[in-house]
Structures are given as C-alpha cells and as structure tokens.
Structure 1
C-alpha cells in the first residue's frame, strides 16, 4: 500500500544523525514511493561580489550547489541508505522554509519529512522557526520527526476537534482520521481518537454566582463525546479507542500520547499566518514541542498556500 508517492525529506547539515532521512527511508521501504533529499544553501558573500557580473555570480552559485550535492551524497545519503534510489535536490535560497514550500509546489510532493527539536518559547514568540513556517504554509502533509523510533504494533493518535461545526474543522477531522488509519495499517498499529474540550471559563463562574458549573461541564463533555462517537462510527473505530478529556489540547494531547505510548500523532493545522499567528500561534505548533512521538500535520482540503504563484 502506497500512501505517499513523492516524498521530500529535508536534510540537516548541522547534525550527524539524519533522523528525518532515516524515517523517510523506512517509510519508502514499507510502502514504496519516490524519495528526494532536499537541501537549501545560501552564502551572502556571493551576492555582495559586485566585481562579478550576474552571469559570473550565477556560475559561482551553481558551482556551490554542485559541490553540496556531491557532499550530501557522500556524507549524508550514503551512510544512511541501503538499496534505495534517492534523488538529491540542492537549491540556492536564503529562506529554507520558502525553498521547501516552493519545491512542493513545483514538483508536487505529497509529503515533507523534517527532523525537529524543541524551540525556545520566548524566541518562538518573536522569530517564527523554520518548522513553524513549514507547518503554516506547506500545502502537503508534513511529518515532523522526533528521536524515538517507529514501533511495530504501537499506537497512532488522531487528534480531532469533534465539537466544532466549522467547515475547516469538519474537513480536518475527516482527513486526520483517514491519515491515521492509513499509517496504522502500514505500521500494524492501533488508531486512537483523542479530543480535548474546554472547561468552564473562570470569569463566568466568578461573575455569575448562580452559574451551574457541574451542569455546564457535564453538557460540554457529553457534546464532545457524542461528536467523537459519531466520527468514530464513520470509520469503524472501537469505543475503547475513544478518548475525550477536559483541558486545552496543549496539555491533553501530550499526556495522552505518553499514556498511550504513541508512535505518531496526526493533527490538523489551519495554517494561520500574519499577526494572529504571531500572537496566538496554531495548536499543532504548541503541541509539537511537548510530544516525544512523531507528528504528522495535515491541512484542510481547500487550503491555499500563501506562496502559490499562478
């Protein structure tokens, strides 16, 4: 079964172990598909060489690209690859995330695989990391790889927002569950549905003394449980694999992932950009740093990439 036919894996020259490449090779061995190893390079000094003509600077850039292709093949691909044909793609670009997204748009990759690490919370509020840009703008699913290995027979978590009636959430729920079931089949794993729902707003409980907190919480819990049950029945997921918990996703999802010994979490991201992204961020971004398992982020079916060029 081939889920992804054209995979782009992002190389990281700053580390010795290419965990994203290892994961990509493992995925291709399990399901087949074409694999391209990607690297964006840039040297500002080449752009500042005013004594050279535009053609001469382009020749120098191409020489650097060729050198990095040879280097990547020898030192990054060869030690990690046995028996898999991997194309190497090196581009000259000063913004790696944009280079990745443009490559997806140009060559129709259906999955991007990239290693990730913990982001400094304060810096992330000011400077959006490359990972976050990719999550927001990449039109195809993005698999963020952590240090843990895939475990045959482990658990796959589909993180859904079952209580929402918004169209993009309804679309994402369907896509998240479908991807989770596909990966579960591939890895011989079990699929679990996880849904977090908000508790009683504190300000309401304080400002309205007669407000019935217990009744509100009970109503909210039943609403989300019924919504999860309806989703699960569409995909024939057993009730013992439904998890409905009170709390914000950033707290609930990591705890359940650890409790369920998850190999991977599938999560939807709406691709929020601009000021709202800087201030609020996206649920997927807040959750990823707190998970020990891989995260597969998917977009709604009608997602329009902000970098798309007609």
Structure 2
C-alpha cells in the first residue's frame, strides 16, 4: 500500500486547540519527512468582506505558530470560505497526492448533530483515506500502539485490511520507541438456535472459537514476524475490549479498520469505527478498505 505518511492533510478549526493537531502533525512530518497541507474552512462564518480579513489574519497566525514550533519546510495553507468544507476537501483529495488526514475529534453538540451526517462522519465512513483523529497530546514516546484486527470476517478485503493495519503499526513503531500490541476480539458464545446434529453421533459440540481465532492469527504472525508476547486474544465485543486494552497497555494510539464504508445504516445506527472513534481513550487511526 502507499506510504501513509507521504502527504498529510491537517484539518484545522480556527480554535484554541488547533495547536494540539498541529503539534501532532508536525511531529509526524518530521519523523517521516512528509509534505504538509493545512486546511481550514471559514464557510458561512461572516460576510464576504469580513471573512477575507479573517482568513488573512488566520493565515498570519498560522505562520507565526509554525515558526514558533520550528517548522523548517513551508506547508501549503488552504483557507476555504467560498464553498462547503467537504466539497473543497474532496477537490484537494482528487487533485493531490494526500495520503493521510489528521484532525481533532469534534464532540457532538446537539441531538441534531447525531442525526445528520457531518464532516466527522465523512472522514470516518465515506472518505477512502486513512484518518488520524487527535484526542490528546502525545508527549510520552514510551507509550504503546494498539493494532486491532478483525478475524471474524473471512473476506479477502478484510484480510488485506488487517495486513494494512499491521504494516502501518510497524511503520510507526520503527520511527519511535513505542511498543506495538496486536488485539483480536472474539465471542465464544454461539447464539444460534440450532446445533449440528447427526443421527448416529447426536448433537455435535460447539466449535472452539478461541482456537479458531488462534489459527487465523498464524498467517499474520508469520507474515509480519510478530512475537508471541504482543498478541492478545480478548473475549468480547470490540466496542468494550478495545478501550479496555488501550488502558491496560497504556496506548496513545489505536489503529482500527472500517470495512463498512458508504453504508446508509451507519448514518442512522453508527458502526464499530464510529463508536470506537469516540469511546477509545486515545488517538484513533482509522484505516479504510482499498477500493
């Protein structure tokens, strides 16, 4: 797969916490020698005259902040006010070589924001690029990274997505002193109302789900040369087990996949990626299924 950190699109909000996103993005840009594009939307904020002045002032503030942070390479700065943010971002993605989007996770402020697909939903479920959602400052470089696999889905697309998650996790730990942990969740209970039955042998025993997942892990362990002590099998739903693992292993980043993009049901009911992006107590990097 294409190098994830080749060109970073940093989405800013013209708010006080922009520096948190900037510092994370510039740290990654320094580690991977990435190109950087900074984007901020001021669409429908004020009158046309006012927004031009606001854009010029914000660009000057950005440049001063970047100088104070010691940035060497000058990033591209895109400030949009003539069209909606999503439309402009889609143009940037179509016209450029952007490989990763970095933004601050925005909290839902009203009931309406939960019902109408917003820019956050676009980044998590509709945009095809990986998205790094920043939640906290990452000053401690000794913390861990959690790569979350899905072995319950046997499709070739999910198999490829699992490999991408591990590859990106390995890229990150190679550039730091962090420890990689690999998590797979499974449900041991069979909630089916029917059991396999043979007229001679009677009811067949339920399959050993943990053993099945252990066997499914072997190709990934061999392909990525993963040591046994970083592999974790956890009984339960990812919604519950991923946040627990983040706390147990002191992770500052969880890498998850979203294999359910572009589904209308995710707007109404959400999906695992949407849930984990909000309830995991650390940054979340969401990897998408390849087209």
TM range (shorter): 0.7 to 0.9
Deviation at 1:294, TM superposition (A): 1.1
Q: Quick one: structure 1 residues 261 and 118, their matched pair in 2 at CA, closer, same or farther if it must change by over 3 Å?
A: farther
Aligned residue number for residue 54 of structure 1? none
User: 2:144·2:179 contact (CA, 8 Å) conserved in 1?
Assistant: yes
- String of CA shifts for 1:57-95, please: whole Å, max 9, x gaps: xxx5xx666534422223244225433222211123554
Give me the whole-angstrom Cα distance separating, in 2, the residues matched to 1:289 and 1:166: 27
Query: Per-residue deviation at 1:271?
Result: 4.8
CA distance in 2, matches of 1:228, 1:273: 28
Number of residue pairs matched by the alignment: 281
- Equivalent in the alignment of 1:126: 115
1:246 is matched with 235
CA 1:187–1:301: 2 relative to 1, 3 Å = same
- In structure 1, which of residues 226, 248, 273 is the aligned counterpart of residue 215 of structure 2? 226
Aligned 8 A contact 2:4 2:99 in 1: no
Q: Is the 8 A contact 1:162 1:231 kept in 2?
A: no
**Following the alignment from structure 2 to structure 1, what is the Cα–Cα distance between the partners of residues 182 and 172?**
14
Deviation at 1:163, TM superposition (A): 3.2
1:72 partnered with 2:58: yes
* C-alpha displacement of 1:40: 1.7
RMSD (CA atoms): 2.9
Deviations along 1:158-209, whole A, 9 cap, x unmatched?
111123211221111011110110011112212111111124255749xxxx
Quote the residue 2:197 is aligned against. none
Question: Matches of 1:226 and 1:121 in 2, distance apart?
Answer: 45
Mapped to 1, the partners of 2:91 and 2:254 lie a distance apart of 26
Provide the rounded CA distance (Å) in 2 between the counterparts of 1:164 and 1:284: 15
Q: Name 1:164's counterpart in structure 2.
A: 153
With structure 2 as the length reference, what TM-score do the two structures score?
A: 0.85
Q: How far apart are the structure 2 equivalents of 1:271 and 1:164?
A: 12
Are the aligned partners of 1:12 and 1:18 in contact in 2 as well (CA < 8 Å)?
no
Partner of 1:260: 249
Unpaired runs of at least 5, structure 1: 47-59, 303-310
Q: Following TM superposition, by how much is the alpha carbon of 1:301 offset from its aligned partner in structure 2, in angstroms?
A: 2.2
1:99-118 aligned within 5 A: 99-118=88-107
Q: SS of the residue aligned with 1:18?
A: helix
Offset at residue 150 of structure 1 (A): 4.6
- The structure where helix makes up a greater share of residues is 1
